[in-house]
Chains A and B, each alone.
Chain A
Amino acid sequence: MTTTTTILKYSLAYACLLIVGFLTTRHIQFVLALALIYSMVVIGLVILIGYAGLVSFGQGAFYAIGGYTVGLMIKYFGIQSPEILLILGILTSTAASFIVGLLCTRTRRLAFAMITLAFSMIIYTILLKFYHITGGTDGLRIPLLKFGGVFPVRGYSLFMSNEYFIIVTVFLFVLFLSERFIRSPVSYTLRAIKDAEVKAISLSISPAKAYVIAFTYAGFLAGLAGTLYAFLNAHIDPLMTYWTTSAEFVFITILGGASGILGAVFASILFLFLKTYLLAYTAYYWQFAIGIIFLLIILLAPSGLTGIIDRVIRSFKRVITKPQS
């Protein structure tokens, strides 16, 4: 793909997302922004689950590290600049995921799921129990920060909410970076290892190195998402790293088919709109509905939304091309 078409593609995507923001209410923008934040974590999981075959049940840990970096830096160091907080959130979560990745990627399959789960639960219990520092179950409140001292992270100034604008902009950067990652040699290495690890090793490929890179990248995305979540939601709590949050991320990944970026984005949007509106209309019973929908999808269409869309497109094409053949 040439540079021009790439620029055109991303400008088009950016324009579309901004037009959607322009046309919708602030509430829908909030849900969409949250969906884009979720999809950042999920894109990391697509790379881990779909490409590397590693099921991380602890992605919430890096999400929380990103969020709590913001909260604690404001509370204890009085940093008020969102640019610096964003960078710090990314740095801490990336560093944490690199170190955790070094340990965790020595394991595979169920053991990997369990070790990432253990790690996220350690972070959870620390956030929960050292409440005099972290605020415990109450979490931390994030004050209204201003980019460059003038542009508040939450508000309404550009025909759409500021938070939506900021998150869409960062999301486009994530999209660009992740597309590059998926087309990079590391990604092909991961697929080779997933298909035949012994053969890959015999071709002098180092699984450890590729796994650590993938894990660190996924942790970076989750940390970035957590930082943005702190800006958007104005409040963070330890549930960000509870195992059900991490399971929700894996859930959305599989819902999307764990095979590409678009599936991850659409699954996140679908999941969050379902959750928001089921919560509004059924009060206590949204989990029931989501559980049933998911059971049906995984039992009847194991390749998730991507698979369903593919099937629809294929049958559509068959209908179109029929008269010619």
Chain B
Amino acid sequence: MLDPTILTMLAINTLIYTVILALISIGLNMILGILRILNVSHGVFMAIGAYLSITFVRFFLSAGLSVFTTYFALILAGLVGGVLVGFTVEPIILRRIYNRIEVHQLLVTFALMLIIEDLIKFIWGPQSQIITEPYLYLGTLHIGGLTYPLYYVFLMAVGYLILFITYVILNHTKLGKIFHATAYDREISLALGINVKKVYTYAFTLGATLTTLGGALMSPTLSLQPGFSTEYIVLAFSVVVVGGLGDIKGAFIASLLMAFARALVVLVIPELELATIFLIMLFTILLRPEGILRGGRA
């Protein structure tokens, strides 16, 4: 069991999976913390990022640019997707349901998910889509007897950089302070002259962008099919619950924990790979409802 090859594999799989989970769930958790809405359509935002990145990469390649530029295409697709989603969904739909009961909020975002899923099918077609150029261009990496596509190194580098930038924005800028204030007390923030409406739009856009970036970064490693994101949204739910509702730092730690648990269980009992994640979620709600760092709303 303590074979160095297996340990390396465990470590690398954990790191890759952590960044993916963190990109989806931190955005989800920010929206939950600030807007007080659990966004069921968050998974499909990831699909938007992924599908847009396919279009962007194909456009870059057909324009005669080298494969090297497609990496910028991926990031650009994620940013464009996030801004597109953020500045349409929040002002048009979410703004109308802030005062509604929770189940209405959940279902409005669920309806949104159904609508966007079909829009994706309408634009990109129901068949599965794949781009391999960015993935194959980088070749492979050999560590300790294992062969990994070097693309994962790019994914991790960009992914962790995005997470670091988010950390800086949230903790060391004025915008971040405003986000914290609004999440903590909406009324007082309003009284202090914060434009809460605008804050909601920005926070939602930032949260959506993290997810679309995650989708764009993952798209070269996947064969995209309509509905592939329905699995990721429940994984993101479980991370958010384990990290504590609204607790961003907790969500990152929870991503790490979930990724490790999954990588470990895959090696021992592969059948329980996903069940483990939901079991951890179940026990967290029962034993520590405020999340792993005790930083969330119970």
Contacts and interface: CB of A to CB of B under 8 A. Distances in A.
Interface string A117-149: 111011001101110000000000000000000
B119 A55 contact: no
B278 interface: yes
A46 to B, nearest CB: 12
A55 B106 contact: yes
A195 to B, nearest CB: 14
Contact of A121 (B106, B108, B110, B234): B234
A152 interface: no
A267 B62 CA distance: 49
A235 B102 CA distance: 35
Contact of B100 (A113, A286, A302): A302
Contacts of A126: 271, 275
A299 B122 CA distance: 25
A114 interface: yes
A103 B274 contact: no
B35 to A, nearest CB: 13
B115 A111 contact: no
Contact of A125 (B96, B100, B111, B274): B274
Contact of B237 (A103, A117, A250, A292): A117
Contact of B289 (A103, A111, A290): A111
B103 A254 contact: yes
A77 interface: no
B286 interface: yes
B260 to A, nearest CB: 18
Given A118-B238, A243-B234, A294-B111, A287 B274 contact: no
Contacts of B270: 129
Contacts of B100: 302
A292 B115 contact: yes
B285 A130 contact: no
A240 interface: no
A111 B284 CA distance: 10
B298 A111 contact: yes
A49 interface: yes
Majority secondary structure, B binding face: helix
B122 A291 contact: no
Contacts of B119: 288
A122 B107 contact: no
Given A110-B245, A111-B298, A288-B118, A251 B286 contact: no
B115 A110 contact: no
Contacts of A106: 286
A23 interface: no
A81 interface: no
Given A285-B121, A287-B118, A299-B96, A111 B285 contact: yes
A6 interface: no
Interface in A271-325: 284-288, 290-292, 294-295, 298-299, 302
A84 to B, nearest CB: 30
A107 interface: yes
A284 B114 CA distance: 11
A183 interface: no
The residue among A103, A106, A247 with the most chain B CB atoms within 10 A of its own CB is A247
Interface string B222-240: 0000000010001001100
B262 to A, nearest CB: 12
B83 to A, nearest CB: 22
Contacts of B118: 284-288, 291
Contacts of A27: none
Contact of A114 (B117, B237, B275, B279): B237
User: Which 5 A/B pairs are nearest by Cβ-Cβ distance?
Assistant: A288-B118, A291-B114, A291-B115, A287-B114, A125-B274
Interface of A: 49, 55, 57, 103, 106-107, 109-111, 113-115, 117-119, 121-122, 125-126, 128-130, 242-244, 247, 250-251, 254, 258, 284-288, 290-292, 294-295, 298-299, 302
16 contacts: A107-B286, A114-B285, A117-B234, A118-B281, A121-B274, A121-B278, A122-B282, A129-B270, A129-B271, A247-B106, A251-B111, A285-B118, A285-B122, A287-B118, A288-B114, A288-B119
